[in-house]
Chain A
Amino acid sequence: MIRPLLALALLAAAPVAAADVQVSASILPQGRISETTQVRLIIRIEGSSIPDVGSPKLPAMKNLQITGGPSTARNSSYTFDNGRIVSSSSLSLTYVLAPSGKGPAEVPPFDVIVGGTAYRTQALRFSVEAGRSGPAPPATAPGIRGDDGGDDDAGDASADVFLQAKLGSSSVYSGQPVRLDVTLYAAAPVNGFTWTDVPSLPGLWTEDLPVDPSRDRRIVTMNGRQYNAYPVARKLVVPTGSGALTIQPFSAQVQMRRPSRDPFGSFFSLGGYVNIVRRTAGLKLDVKPLPEAGRPSDFSGAVGSFRMKVTADRTAVELGEAVAVKVTIDGEGSLQSAVAPKLTAPPDVKVYDPKTLDDAMTGADHLGARKTWEWVVVPLAAGTVNVPAPTFAYFDPGTASYRQLRGEIPELSVRRGNGVVDSVAARGEVQANTRDIAFLKMRRGALQEARPPLHRRGWFLALFVLPFILTPAGIAFGRRRERFLTDHGFARARRAARTAAKRLDRAGQRAGVSPTAFHEEVAGALVDYVADRANRKASGLTYDQLDDILAAKGVPAEPRRRYRTCLETCDFARFVPDSGRPQAVAELVAEARAILRRLEEVA
C-alpha cells in the first residue's frame, strides 16, 4: 500500500506536460508460460515529462490472479538535439500475476489516467501450458534453457525446483488410512518457502503429522540430477466415503538464490534472490467401499490389521469389590471411528460403562493406532464368575474381509468376605439430581413459648454463681473436718461445751434419784469442760490448777470465782447429801450453764 502511494507522490512532483505521453502494457516473460510461471504485467508510461498518474484499476483477467504489485520504476534522460536539451521520462508499473491453470489467459484493455487523460492499453493474450511438477529432463543441464525454458527463471539452476505430492496408496478402502506427503525438490539451496494454496480435502478426514524440512532433508538423484528433497507437508488421510477422490494441487512460493554470472560474485554469494511458484500435480485416490457381505453386527468402522489384549487388575476379590478390566486394540490402520468392544454382563455381575484411557497413533509412519478402554466390573455373587469375552470387529484390507477379535477375561474368584455386600459401593453412590428444601418439621410435644435466653434465666445464673460461694465454704468445712479428725485437742475443745451441756442435762435427770450423782455429774461437767478446752486430763485437777488454766485462757476473775464456787458447792453437796434445798438443784444447774456460757464467751 505504501509503495503505490510513494510512486504517486513522486509522480505528483513531476512537471505537468502530457502532450507526448505514450502508455503501453506488456507481459513478461515473452516465451512459454506455464502454470508455475510468475507473470509480470508491465505498464509503461513514456514522455518528455510525466504528469500525475492515477493508480490503474486492473480489470478482471482470464485465468490470471494478481499476487503482487504494483512496483514502480522511473527513468529520466536528457539529450542534446541541435543545441537544445531534449528530456524524456518513463515510468513502469509492474504487477505480479499467477496463472490459475493451463489454458488461454487474457488481460483485457484497461485505462491508465495520466495527467487527467485516460490512455487505454491493448489487450494481452497468451497461453498457459501445464507446469512441470517433476524433475527436469535428463538432457537439460543446469544453467541451460531446456524444454521447459518457458519458465521465466528456467535459465538459472535455481529454477530446477519442483513440488511433488505423493499418496501412500492410490487405491484404498473407505476408512483405511493413507499417508500424503508433499516434498519440495530443489537443485539449489532454498532460501524461503511459503504456501500459496493448500487445498481442502473433501471426503477425507485428515490429520497433520509433524514434519521438519531441515531435519528430514535428504538428497535424491532424479534423471541424473541431485536434488535436495524437503518434506514440506505430511498428512494422514482417511477416506470417509467411497468413490474416486481428487486431491487438488498444492502450490507454494519458493525463494531461491539466483547464481551470479560473475565468478567473483558467485564466490561471494552475490546475485540476489528469485521467487518461484511451484505447484504439485493433482492426485487421484480410488476409495473402495467396505463390503456389505459378512459385516459383523458390532463392526464400528475400524479398518486395518489389529490385535486385542485383555487384562484384569485382579482375579480374586471379595463380594462387592470392583475389578478393572482393560481391553487394548492396536495395530496398523485407523481406529478413529472404533467404539468400545462389546462386554456382555452376566446377571450376577455389574458392568459399568467403559471409559477410554488411550487413543493414539502409533508407528514411525503414524499409520498405526491404539485404543484402550477400561470397564469396572463388580461381582454381585460369591463363587467363580466368568465374564463373557469381549469381541471387536474390524475390516482387514489385506484380505478384503471382516475379522473379529475375541479376548478372554480371566476367571474371577469371588469370596464372600464379611458377608455384607456394600450395595452402595457396588452399584454406584446415589447422587442427588437436584436440590430442594427439606420437608416440614412435625410436632412432637407442645410448642415452646418465648423465653429469655438460657444465660439470662434466674436458675442458670444461680447455678453459675453458686460455685463461687460454695467453694470457700467447702474448703473451710473440709479443713475444719480434717482438723477434727487429726487434732484431738482441737476436737475436745470444740466439743467441750456440747459435752458439758449434755452432762448437765443428764445431771438434771438424776437430781430426783440421787443427789450425790447429780452433784457429781454437775462437777464433772464443769471440770471436764475446762480439761477439754485445755486438752488436759480431767482426773487429778485441783481447784487451783483449774483456776490457773482459766486464767491462762484470759478468763476474768469474776467468772473464775463463780466457777470455783459452783464447783465447791457440788463437792460439798456430794459429801453432805441433805445440805441443799430441792429448789437449789435447778439453781445449780442454771448457774453451771450460765458459767459455761460465760466461759465460752471469754475463753
Chain B
Amino acid sequence: MTRRTVNAGLSIAVAWLVLLGAGATVRAESPEDTFDAACRAYDQGHWDAAADGFRGLSRYGLADWRLEYNLANTEYKRGRLGEAILHYERARRLNPADSETVANLAIARTRLRDVVEDENAAGVLHALRAAQDRVGVSAQAFLLLACVWLVAAIVTWCGSRAGGFTPGWGWTLAGLLLASFLVFLSWRATWSRLEGTPRAVVLKPSVEALAGPGLNNAALFTLHEGIAVTIESEREGWLQVSLPNGLTGWVVRDAAERI
C-alpha cells in the first residue's frame, strides 16, 4: 500500500465522518428527505435540529413557501422573533393565500416591541389589501391574462363580422375592459406591496436609525427585532429604511435582512 493510497483512504474516511457529523442532527439525502427529517425533529421538540435542517435546504436553491413557513415556525419556537417574522413574510410572499401563514405572522407580530400605526391601512383599504394578498400576485396575473384573452376574443369575433359590434357586445366589451383595468391595477398594487417594494426585517434586538449613512449622524429613532421596514435605498453597508408611519432613517445593513 503506497503512501498515496493511504492518504486517499484517510481523505475518504474524513469525508464520511464529516457527512456523518452533519447528519447527526438531520440525516437526509434529497431535499424532500431533509425536509421530512426536519419536520420530525420539530415534532419532537428539537427546535435547533429542525432549524438546521430547514436552513440546510437553502443550498438546493429552493423557494418553497412550506419551507419558509416551517422555518419561521421553528425560529418562533426558538424565540428568535426577527427570524420568524422574516420567514413568515417570505412564506406569505410565495403563497399569500395560506391563512395559517397570515395567522402565524399576526401572532408573531403581537410580540413585537415596536408598534407602528399605518395611517393608510384602515377600514376598507385594509380589507381590500388583505383580500388582494389572499388572492396573490400570480392568481391576479392569471386573471388579467384571462381578461385580455377574453377581450381579444370578443374583439376578433365582433370585428370579423359585418355589424358584429352590437350594443350587447359593446357593453360586454366595455365591462370587460374596465374589469381588465381594475385587475391590472390590483395586480400592480399587490405586486408592488408583496414583491415589487424591497422590504426587510430587523434581526438585531435593537438598532438605531440614524439621520444619514454614517455613525456621525444623529439617532432619530430605535427599531427593535422583528419590525418590517421598507428599503428606500442602499449605500455602502447602510440601508435607508422607512416605516408605515412615515419615519425614515438609516440602519446598518447587517441589522436587517431582505424579505
Interface set of A (CB-CB < 8 Å, partner B): 435-443, 446-451, 453-455, 460, 463-464, 467-468, 470-471, 474-479, 481-482
Contacts and interface: CB of A to CB of B under 8 A. Distances in A.
Contacts of A463: 145, 149
Contacts of B66: 441-443, 447
A443 B73 contact: no
A454 B137 contact: yes
Given A437-B107, A470-B152, A482 B161 contact: yes
Contact of A440 (B63, B69, B149, B161): B69
Given A453-B137, A453-B138, 13 more contacts: A441-B70, A443-B39, A443-B66, A447-B57, A447-B64, A455-B137, A471-B155, A474-B159, A474-B160, A475-B156, A478-B161, A482-B161, A482-B162
A438 B100 contact: yes
Nearest first, the 6 closest Cβ-Cβ pairs linking A and B are: A478-B160, A467-B152, A450-B63, A474-B156, A441-B66, A475-B159
Interface stretch (B30-38, B115-123, B200-208, B234-242): B30-38
B141 interface: yes
B62 A450 contact: yes
B35 A443 contact: yes
A447 B159 contact: no
A436 B76 CA distance: 10
A247 B107 CA distance: 60
Contacts of B156: 470-471, 474-475, 478
A482 B160 contact: yes
Contacts of B152: 467-468, 470-471
B67 interface: yes
Most-contacted residue by chain B among A441, A454, A482 (CB, 10 A) = A441
A477 B35 contact: no
Contact of B191 (A437, A441, A455): A455
B25 interface: no
B127 interface: no
A479 B158 CA distance: 10
Given A437-B76, A471-B155, A450 B61 contact: yes
Interface residues of B, number: 43
A481 B161 CA distance: 9
Contacts of B138: 453-454
Interface in B134-184: 137-138, 141-142, 145, 148-149, 151-152, 155-157, 159-162
Contact of B61 (A446, A449, A476, A482): A449
A475 B141 CA distance: 26
12 contacts: A437-B108, A441-B70, A447-B60, A448-B62, A449-B62, A451-B63, A454-B142, A467-B151, A474-B160, A476-B160, A478-B159, A479-B159
Contacts of B73: 437-440
DSSP majority for the B interface?
helix
A479 B57 contact: no
Contacts of A435: 107
B250 interface: no
A82 to B, nearest CB: 93
A467 B161 contact: no
Contacts of B36: 443
A462 to B, nearest CB: 11
B31 A447 contact: yes
Contacts of A479: 159-161
Given A442-B39, A467-B148, A482-B160, A447 B195 contact: no
B103 interface: yes
Contacts of A478: 156-157, 159-161
Nearest to B162: A482
A471 B148 CA distance: 11
A282 B108 CA distance: 67
Contacts of A460: 141, 145
A475 B160 contact: yes
Contacts of B148: 464, 467
Contact of A448 (B64, B107, B162): B64
B128 to A, nearest CB: 21
Contacts of B157: 478
A454 B65 CA distance: 15
Nearest to B159: A475
Interface in B58-90: 60-67, 69-70, 73, 76
B104 A438 contact: yes
Contacts of B100: 438, 441
Interface string B86-108: 00000000000000100110011
A453 B142 CA distance: 12
A450 B60 CA distance: 9
Nearest to B31: A447
B191 to A, nearest CB: 7
A441 B70 CA distance: 6
A441 B87 CA distance: 14
A436 B195 contact: no
A21 B142 CA distance: 113
A435 B103 CA distance: 10
A438 B104 CA distance: 6
Nearest to A478: B160
A368 B177 CA distance: 75
A441 B43 CA distance: 11
Nearest to B63: A450
